[in-house]
């Protein structure tokens, strides 16, 4: 039986997805992409999971695509990459589209598809040992894994172009200054910091998180008027939901809201 290269565990209603090819820098091959999709679907559908943390085993988050395995396909490399990206992109679609918050705990180098995967998380915290590099153009390739979608939204088109054209490496602190990540955390505190936040979010109004996520992701495709229309519809729907009713009641009664049982 093939060893799993993506591990999933659930702790205190937080789904922890770990890329587990440490010996290969957690490089993305066909198996990892498929198992990541399965993990994302599990976390998206599981009622026990109310927040998700994505991280890597060892001292790297992910060095990106497994070029050795790709090259072994010879003339079939193009069709092989379509299979790999089909699974990878489905994984990212589920992580980005689910109501539950997805937090990235970037424990080391995030390159190529690994950087794209990090960018797709809702919130991103990186070890002070982490580095970010796009890596695609240097080897004659173009971005995948949502990189061309999230990167310009996070840092702007000019900076995204610079990162892609020049293969410039961003240290964690500079990535924070650019808005690529939320915060740099000492290596030894990374997982405890991210898990603590994830557990707090898991107790929160997950459907409100999901509605907020959808509004933000769709905002750049809308006019001011159409976006405000979406806001109005979403707000009305949320106010009438069990979460909205509990949140408003808790505020008026000056108590802590209990979203977990709603």
What is 42-62 written as a DSSP string?
HHHH-SS--EEEEEESTTEEE
Which pLDDT score, from 0 to 100, does residue 1 have?
37
Domain annotation covers residue 261: no
Domain annotation covers residue 259: no
Over residues 103-110, the mean pLDDT reads 98
Do 33 and 140 fall within a single domain?
yes
Structural domains in the chain (count): 2
* Residue 161 belongs to domain spanning: 6-202
Domain annotation covers residue 258: no
Question: What are the tens digits of pLDDT across the range 180-237?
Answer: 999 999 999 999 999 999 999 999 999 999 999 999 999 989 999 999 999 999 999 9
Which pLDDT score, from 0 to 100, does residue 2 have?
56
Do 55 and 177 fall within a single domain?
yes
- Strands ordered across the beta sheet of 51-56: 6-11, 14-19, 51-56, 102-106, 123-127, 183-185
Cα(195)–Cα(202) distance, integer angstroms = 10
Do 137 and 198 fall within a single domain?
yes
Look up the CATH number of the domain holding residue 66: 3.90.226.10
Do 159 and 210 fall within a single domain?
no
Do 33 and 158 fall within a single domain?
yes
Domain annotation covers residue 262: no
All residues at 6 or more sequence positions from 76 whose CB lies less than 8 Å from its CB, including other chains: none
Kindly list the catalytic residues.
89, 144
* pTM (2 d.p.): 0.95
């Amino acid at each position: 039986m093939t060893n799993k290269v993506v591990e999933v565990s659930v702790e205190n209603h937080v789904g922890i997805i770990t890329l587990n090819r440490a010996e290969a820098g957690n490089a993305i091959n066909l198996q990892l992409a498929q198992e990541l999709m399965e993990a994302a679907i599990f976390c998206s559908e599981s009622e026990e999971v109310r927040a998700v943390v994505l991280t890597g085993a060892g001292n790297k988050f992910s060095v990106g695509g497994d070029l050795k395995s790709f090259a072994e396909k010879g003339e079939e490399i193009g069709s092989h990459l379509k299979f790999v990206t089909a699974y990878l992109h489905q994984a990212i679609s589920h992580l980005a589209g689910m109501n539950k918050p997805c937090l990235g705990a970037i424990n080391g180098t995030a390159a190529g598809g690994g950087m794209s995967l990090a960018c797709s998380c809702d919130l991103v915290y990186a070890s002070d040992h982490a580095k970010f590099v796009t890596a695609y153009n240097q080897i004659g390739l173009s971005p995948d894994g949502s990189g061309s979608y999230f990167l310009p939204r996070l840092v702007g088109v000019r900076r995204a172009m610079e990162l892609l054209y020049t293969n410039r490496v961003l240290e964690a602190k500079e990535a924070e200054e650019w808005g690529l990540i939320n915060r740099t955390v000492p290596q030894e505190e990374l997982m405890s910091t991210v898990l603590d936040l994830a557990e707090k979010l898991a107790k929160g109004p997950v459907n409100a998180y999901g509605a907020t996520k959808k509004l933000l992701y769709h905002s750049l495709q809308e006019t001011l008027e159409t976006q405000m229309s979406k806001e109005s519809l979403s707000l009305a729907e949320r106010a009438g939901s069990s979460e909205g009713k509990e949140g408003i009641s808790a505020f008026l009664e000056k108590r802590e809201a209990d979203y977990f049982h709603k």
